[in-house]
Amino acid sequence: MPVRRKVLTWGAAAAAAPALAACGESAGAARLTRQTRRKPGEKARLVFWTWVPLQKAVALWNSKHPDIHVQVQIVPANTQGGYQKMHSSLKAGSPPDLAQVEYYALPEFMLVNGLTNLSKYGADRLKGGYVDWQWNQGVFDGELYAMPQGSGPMGYYYRKDLFERWDVEAPRTWDEFRQAAVRIKKRSGGSRITSFPPRNAMWYAAFPWQRGARWIRTEGDTWLVDINSKVSLEVADYWDGLIRDGLVEVMPDTQSGWYRAMQTGRLASWPGAQWGDALLRGNAPGTKGKWRVTTLPQWEAGETASANWGGSSTAVLQGTRYPAEAIEFAHWLNTDPESIDLLVAAGYGWPAARIDLEESALGKRDPFFGGQRYNEVFQESDSHVDTSWKWAPTTIQSFEHIKDAFGRVTAGHGTLVDALNDVQGRVLDDLQAKGLKARSA
């Protein structure tokens, strides 16, 4: 197979945008997208792979659009096997029509020609309905390859009752966070301010992102890797100190033990994404009314910087026979007010659509959070995310390197600073192994 060399720029306005030169990569799709003309009365049938429980929204679509039937098939989440399954289906020529693909994974699918060019089928006319930065997550070479779905602006969940009991204020800075952590350790009799999950690389990435780090960027057609930049290592050193001094609980997050710790007050707060509200509500029901949400602590007093954890698109995979119908469904799913309310209930994330918060279910006072209109915090957070942060086409591998390196640290071998210095070289190797130009920043 001839070597394919094509430079793809990320985002419509990016002057020095990421380059995806698929050197030495075989095409991932055995079948190419082609629009099927339906006969009068013929129904289009679409298959949609996702790990989010979107069945109610899809059922609503099916009831309103009898000529385009969508079947939801639940697959393993992202790196738990979902993406591997999608890539395998592309190579076998049997992909679903649509799939949930997180923003960070889109470049990898582009690298193997796994996504349909939606601009060819008129999707650009829909741009005005979406937040610009989320729309641009799916734009390569000025053309759209995935419909934006939702993101995860960061905030700070904390137990108001416990903080009052221990005379702790919600921290406004990371210095105050450490001070609060010391006080909670001394006064609580066994609780900690939060956890450090060594296997959650994407959660951790939000903190250097907020600090102003840019792990990946480009210069012309070259990827610049800067995982061990000065500010990135400053963040790692901060968390090293929390771990060394026993101020945080080292444990996997979003698992049964972690939920028990949230329920019992062993963990008193959580820097988390907007979609984490559903996790707390569903897995710590006994804490109803005790939680509040405020902004993420700042690295410098007076700043308003935020970051993002997560974010997904509704991608149309290469090989569908109904790209126009897939776009119609994906747009409805992610912008229709009734659908958005159902998606919010399913915990899918912060909408990519431009919404009126007051008119949405997101704008309501929530008894779980003591009657707070807590999504006002996340709306503000979303407006302060540094959208220059980029993802490489090897991000999934990068996350695995971080998980392995952090796991060694929490097992007593080295520091997070050491880990990031090690990961820097591994990420360079991964990019170069795919035939991409890459160097340290």
Q: Which residue has the tokens 């930049």?
A: 229
Averaged pLDDT, 154-163: 98
* Model confidence band, residue 24 (pLDDT cutoffs 50, 70, 90): very low
Averaged pLDDT, 274-280: 93
Q: For 357-416, what is each residue's pLDDT tens digit?
A: 888 889 999 999 999 999 999 999 999 999 889 899 999 999 999 999 999 999 999 999
Long-range CB pairs of 11-14, under 8 A, 24+ apart, other chains included? 11/136, 11/139, 12/136, 12/139, 12/142, 13/136
Please report the pLDDT score of residue 387 as a whole number: 86
Please report the pLDDT score of residue 424 as a whole number: 98
Identify which has the larger pLDDT, 272 or 111: 272
| Dist. CA 53–CA 34, nearest whole Å | 29
Mean pLDDT for the chain?
A: 91
Q: For 114-146, what is each residue's pLDDT tens digit?
A: 999 999 999 999 999 998 889 999 999 899 999
Quickly name the fold that domain 46-151+309-360 has: D-Maltodextrin-Binding Protein; domain 2 (3.40.190)
* CA angle at 96 for the pair 93 and 98, rounded to the nearest 5°: 135
Q: For 235-253, what is each residue's pLDDT tens digit?
A: 999 999 999 999 999 999 9
| Dist. CA 15–CA 220, nearest whole Å | 9
Instruction: Give helix 323-335 / helix 337-345 axis angle, nearest 10°.
Output: 70
- Joined together, the tokens standing for residue 278 give 């559903």
> Domain extents for the chain?
46-151+309-360
* CA angle at 427 for the pair 215 and 133, rounded to the nearest 5°: 35
Please report the pLDDT score of residue 16 as a whole number: 31
Kindly tell me if the per-residue pLDDT of 346 is higher than 90.
no
Residues 6 or more apart in contact with residue 424 via CB below 8 angstroms: 225, 227, 228, 440
Please report the pLDDT score of residue 6 as a whole number: 39
Query: CB burial class (10 A; 0-12, 13-18, 19+) of residue 215?
Result: buried
Length of the chain, in residues:
441
Q: What is the sign, positive or negative, of the torsion defined by CA atoms of 378, 379, 381, 382?
A: positive
Averaged pLDDT, 164-169: 98
Residue 297 contacts residue 171 (beta carbons within 8 Å): yes
Kindly tell me if the per-residue pLDDT of 8 is higher than 60.
no
DSSP H or E stretch at residue 429: helix 416-433
Residues 6 or more apart in contact with residue 44 via CB below 8 angstroms: 36, 38, 67, 68, 69, 322, 325
- Joined together, the tokens standing for residue 19 give 């380059």
Residue 390 DSSP class: -
How many Cβ atoms are within 10 Å of 414's Cβ, its own excluded?
A: 15
* CA angle at 285 for the pair 282 and 287, rounded to the nearest 5°: 130
* Model confidence band, residue 27 (pLDDT cutoffs 50, 70, 90): low
Averaged pLDDT, 338-363: 87
Rg (CA), the chain: 22
Please report the DSSP string for 130-181 in residue order: B-HHHHHTTEETTEE-EEEEEEEEEEEEEEHHHHHHTT-PPPSBHHHHHHHH
